Amino acid sequence: MMSGPLLLLGGIGLLAGIVFGRRRPRLWLVATVIGNASLIVAAALVLSGPDDWQWRNGFPIGGELLHFRLDGLSGLFLLLLGIVGAAGAIYAREYWSDEHHAESAPRGRAWWSAMILSMTTVLLSSNGLHFLIAWEVFAVSSFFLITLDRANREVRAAGWLYLACSHVGTLCLFGFFATLAARTGGWELGPMREQAGLAPLLWLALPGFALKAGLFPVHIWLPSAHANAPSHVSALMSGVAIKLGIYGLLRFSGWLPVPAALGPVVISVGAVTALLGIAFAFAQDDVKRLLAYCSVENVGIIFVGIGGGLLGMAHADAPWGRVLLAGALLHVWNHGLFKALLFLCAGSVLHATGTREMTRLGGLWRTMPWTASLFALGSVAISALPPLNGFVGEWLVYLGLFDASTSHGPAAWAAMPATLMLATAGALALATFLKAGAVIFLGVPRTRAAGHAHEGGRLMRGPMLALAALCVGTGLAPVLLWPAINRAVGVWNSSWVAGAPPAPLLTLGLVNLTLLAAFAAGSVWLWRKAHANGFRRGLTWDCGYAAPTPRMQYTGGSFAGIVTGWFAEILRPERVQQRPRGPFPSSARRIQRAPETVLERVIAPAAAGVLRVSSAARRLQHGRVQFYILYLTGGLTALAIIVWWGGIQ
């Protein structure tokens, strides 16, 4: 089988990327792209063929023999990793170039290859110890990528927060893998569904992987890390890195026995995450924070799908479980593509204008038509509108949820509320991206920087176009991707291996094609008609103002105001307001900010309390030898009393 040599080639390419990254940018690009391409081909081979790829070696690392495995599940994630990894590498050549970032660009290239290599190792490892090592390298390399622009204080803060959160998750995973190894007698991983005693271990794995995936309320690291990282890094983080958390949960819920309560828990946490994630996203003014919160929402959708799969498995392998799991996997793939695309578009805007704040942008579609149209395409996809790929994945999730809701079992109680919350989240997602697209690209420029924007070069546009093409392709022909999804579903639960796609998938592809054809025909007709009548350029909505200025536009905050009000209990928006007073007001202002509530209202006060207690305890360590001896005496006396007391009893 060809996968082995291809994976070896991929590894060599990425290693060469790490070596050449600092000094030889062109060689780095070639090596990294070749490496990623071989990963893509290897994954595609495994996904299309019937067999898994396995490789064992007598060479021990850390006392454990190497064992790599590429099956349907890891193959799907590896495919996504290869695509986003290659696209981001090409994009970074122009976006984070040596001319503009002389100090950080070489580091960024080396860490990029390192991060992809470590993520590949995570996906391939079939040994708990090596999984943990690769997981740690992956976390550290993404920390260094997030903090590429480390001169900036905010970036450093985001990096530390990420590192801390990531290690809390890793701690859970340490517990998980160590207990697993102790129970099974070895670090070797593999299917072990029959050992029913292992089921409670998944409760340890869930928080560890959920932290990486960014599930509410442990998503706190995600917005600042995604916003402050360079955009190609955000694309990789949001598109693939957080998916590794999902991969972990899928991997181990597929191999280990599943506790009965896991399905309902995952599905409800997922639904809450989806709703709150998009509510937070809607309130944001920073475009990359908005996209980051939107990732939280999408992770929620994926978790609803996974939870549904778990629920279905617990209900005698109900067919709706299969549909839900397939929907989740499809959404993993889709979200990886369109979220990477959207982050690259946001990076393009940032590159052109130097700001992420939407209230300083506006009217960019004139100067950046490519970015504007690709952002629009990504928005359509992420809002799950037909005919693009987002619709396909979410539609499967909805289908499964409907079937589960009408199944008249206890599953309906979990599925029904999830359906409602998901539907609300979907509507808000559309509104969010309407806001983002409209405020950034429509209207007139709000600042001078936005007025002087320019389109990025070919190296930036190419990867965006490729990702967009994949989004369109998946939307129009989801049937082509079905074998891969089916492989992954079959790996997760072998009784769902039945090959035929759910019939609607084929119909859906046809409907999408028809829709696209109708859309194209309509556009051509409109274009023709417009040309026949001639153009006249004017203001979009004049509204009868005598002298309109760029300030007389809807801002992102005003657009989101009402919905932010609905969720005010959780969002807790902060307002500074000075109303205009008198007939000739000299000044008035209104500043609104949407804080990261969980971090700033829950975690930060708790951490401050811990810090206070520990600094009080630090006073005990004052450096006076005499008192240290007193402590010793006191401790000894207390011990003696305890022993004496014990003797009396």
Partner 1 sequence: MSPLVNIIVGLAMGLNLLALGSSRLPSVIRAMAVQGVLLGMLPLVIETDFDWMVMLVAVVTMAVKGVLIPTLLRRAMRAANIEREMEPFIGFVPSLLLGAAGTIAAIAGARALPLLTEHADTLLVPGALASVFTGFILLVGRAKAISQVCGYLILENGIYLFGMLLIHSTPLLVESGILLDLTVGVFVIGIIMDRIQRAFDSLDTRKLTALRE
Binding site for partner 1 (CB under 8 A): 621-627, 629-630, 633
Question: Could you tell me the smallest distance in angstroms from the CB atom of residue 607 to partner 1?
Answer: 23
CB of residue 643 to partner 1, shortest distance in Å: 13
Kindly tell me which of 517 and 630 has the beta carbon lying closer to partner 1. Answer: 630
Q: For residues 540 and 633, which CB has a smaller minimum distance to partner 1 in the complex? A: 633
Q: What are phi and psi of 573, to 5 degrees?
A: -65, 140
Question: From CA 295, how far away is CA 288, in angstroms rounded?
Answer: 10
Total Cβ atoms within 10 A of residue 273: 29
| Closer Cβ to partner 1, 602 or 630, answer by number | 630
Tell me the torsion sign for CA atoms 136, 138, 139, 143.
Answer: positive
Structure tokens at 54: 């396995």
Residues 238/339, Cβ–Cβ less than 8 Å: yes
Give the shortest CB-627-to-partner 1 separation in angstroms.
Answer: 7
Distance CA 110, CA 112 (A): 5
Question: By C-beta, is 606 or 629 nearer to partner 1?
Answer: 629
User: What distance in Å separates the CA atoms of residue 481 and residue 332, rounded to the nearest whole number?
Assistant: 13
- Cβ distance to partner 1 smaller for residue 195 or 633: 633
Dmax (CA) for the chain in angstroms is 106
Q: HSE on the CB side for 141, CA within 13 Å?
A: 25
Q: What is the DSSP letter of 500?
A: S
Which CB sits closer to partner 1, 588 or 629? 629
Contacts of 624 (CB under 8 A, 6+ apart): none
Least CB distance to partner 1 at residue 609 (A) = 24
* Least distance between partner 1 and beta carbon 101 (Å): 37
The smaller minimum CB distance to partner 1, of residues 520 and 630, is found at: 630
The least CB distance from residue 626 to partner 1, in Å, is 5
Structural tokens at position 507: 């119909």
Closest approach, Cβ 160 to partner 1, in A, equals: 22
Q: Residue 637 Cβ, how far from partner 1 at the closest point, in Å? A: 10
Judged by beta carbon, residue 583 or residue 623, the one nearer partner 1 is 623
Q: Distance (Å, rounded) from C-alpha 265 to C-alpha 447? A: 47
What is the nearest approach in angstroms of partner 1 to the Cβ of residue 153? 26
Residue (60 or 623) nearer to partner 1, CB: 623
Q: How far is the CB of 638 from partner 1 (least distance, A)?
A: 14
Query: Between residues 413 and 627, which has the closer beta carbon with respect to partner 1?
Result: 627
Cis previous bond, 5, omega within 30: no
Least spacing, CB of residue 632 vs partner 1, in Å: 9
Residue type, 621: Q
Q: Which distant-in-sequence residues (6+ apart) come within 8 Å of 207 by Cβ?
A: 169, 172, 218
Toward partner 1, which CB reaches closer, 589 or 622? 622
Question: How far apart, in whole angstroms, are the C-alpha atoms of residue 311 and residue 318?
Answer: 9
Least distance CB 27 / partner 1 (angstroms):
47
H/E element, 58: strand 53-61
Element at 611 (helix H, strand E):
helix 604-618
Give 543 or 648: the residue with its C-beta nearer to partner 1.
Answer: 648
Answer positive or negative: Cα dihedral of 96, 101, 104, 110.
positive
Specify the pairing of strand 574-578 against strand 64-70. Answer: unpaired
Query: Considering Cα of 156, then 160, then 161, then 166, what sign does the dihedral take?
Result: positive
- Whole-number Å distance between alpha carbons of 272 and 76: 26
| Residue with Cβ nearer partner 1 (579 or 622) | 622
Q: What's the min distance (Å) between Cβ of 21 and partner 1?
A: 39
First to last CA, the chain: 72
Tokens standing for 216? 């509410």
Whole-number Å distance between alpha carbons of 486 and 325: 10
According to the 3-state scheme, what is the secondary structure of 204-253?
Answer: HHHHHHHHHHCCCCCCCHHHHHHHHCCHHHHHHHHHHHHHHHHHHHHHHH
